[in-house]
Amino acid sequence: MKALIARLYPICRSITGPGVRETLGILREQIPLEIREVPSGTPVFDWVVPEEWVIRDAFVKDPSGARVIDFRAHNLSVVNYSRPFRGRLTLEELRPHLHAEEAHPDWIPYRTSYYQEAWGFCLPWNRLRAMGPGPYEVEIDAEVKPGSLTYGECLVPGESDEEVLVSAHTCHPSLANDNLSGIAVAVELIRGLMARKPRLSYRFLFIPGTIGSITWLALNEARLSRIRAGLVAVNLGDPGIMHYKKSRRGDAAVDRAAAHVLGARGDHRIEDFSPYGYDERQFCSPGIDLPVGCLSRTPYGRFPEYHTSADNLDLVREEALAASLETFRAIFAVLERDGVYLNLSPKGEPMLGKRGLYAALGGRSDTKDRQMAMLWVLNLSDGRHSLLDIAERAGLPFELVADVAETLQAHDLLAPAAGRVL
């Protein structure tokens, strides 16, 4: 995962353009990714797919000809989606187009101008302070032209056509945690799912933020009823604790699965839904209302390096990526194994001894917990309670409850209830 992030890091991405295609092309070397192109001007709900941005170079040269701001040195140095410009300006004339943060004087901030006619540069505050009166040679070799919005989609089919949606955004340039970490974890999740036949189907989206999710939703309304759970994957490589932001529904299967997994894994934080953040706000918009939460380490805007050049490869820790990956896999495991069952011997407690079930428990260190799990599963498997319901009510690990349910099925004491898989 860290190697993939390092390979993608230098690429200048935006909501459209060659950088997105180059990124998706690299991902397609590793996973079976379908790359889609949606033409500029396509109506998507209340939005329109924008024109495509292409940038070749951008710089500010001082009177000696030295590049004091250089897009080639760091792609955050130009305001993303800047319109083309060429001119000779004094510092006073140039200053309204320069962006720097005094609070972090050695970092380059990240700024965008997607939906307005503007241009500009970003630079460290200390460099701005050192600039003389000029004049400066200023050039942004870019164009905004009819083209398309590009996104990637990968479906890992399961035994059921009911789907889990995972989304990572592809629109940020050289920012490692936000969101190359999400892309890398998603790719590794796909590898793991492809190595076996999952029960559920898993659809992964690699899309530009906001306009990408809106575009995908607008073009795929007919299939949205299949989505039973979803997660936005973002900020997964920093050293912060795990955070889960609930879906708009607040009590969806994915919300409860995430809470159960994180509750067993130490320090974490679960937050209620709000209509601000990443693409969960599009998936959870009232006319869509999908059960999609957001799983991250430190959320947006809460780590100092957020949207600056300090969000680099040093910020992303291998152990954090690994822990994030395992958290996703644990949530998937709950979604995969959860279900509603029927006790096939519901009148009185079935005699477990004659079926050898008590004998099967002998000598185990967790005998008491397994016995209690068996009794809870039998008691609550009435076609109304899921295995996750039972684990929560009994205060037992979901994995234990699911294991016991499999044992009871093997002894013809339990059967899946008819209805949805999840």
Specify the length of the chain in residues. 422
Using the Cα atoms of residue 404, residue 408, residue 409 and residue 415 in order, give the sign of their dihedral: negative
**Would you say 106 is a known binding-site residue?**
no
Residues 283 and 290: their CA atoms lie apart, in Å, by 6
**Would you say 238 is a known binding-site residue?**
no
Q: Which helix (H) or strand (E) holds 388?
A: helix 387-394
Residues 383 and 123: their CA atoms lie apart, in Å, by 61
Residues 230 and 246: their CA atoms lie apart, in Å, by 10
Residue 79 DSSP SS3: coil
Residues 201 and 183: their CA atoms lie apart, in Å, by 19
Q: Give the DSSP letter string of 42-73.
A: -EETTEEPPPEEEEEEEEEE-TTS-EEEETTT
Tokens of 149: 């919005």
Q: Is the separation of the CB atoms in 140 and 117 below 8 Å?
A: no
Max CA-CA distance within the chain?
93
**Would you say 307 is a known binding-site residue?**
yes
Binding site listing: 172, 178, 307
Binding site listing for Zn(2+): 172, 178, 307
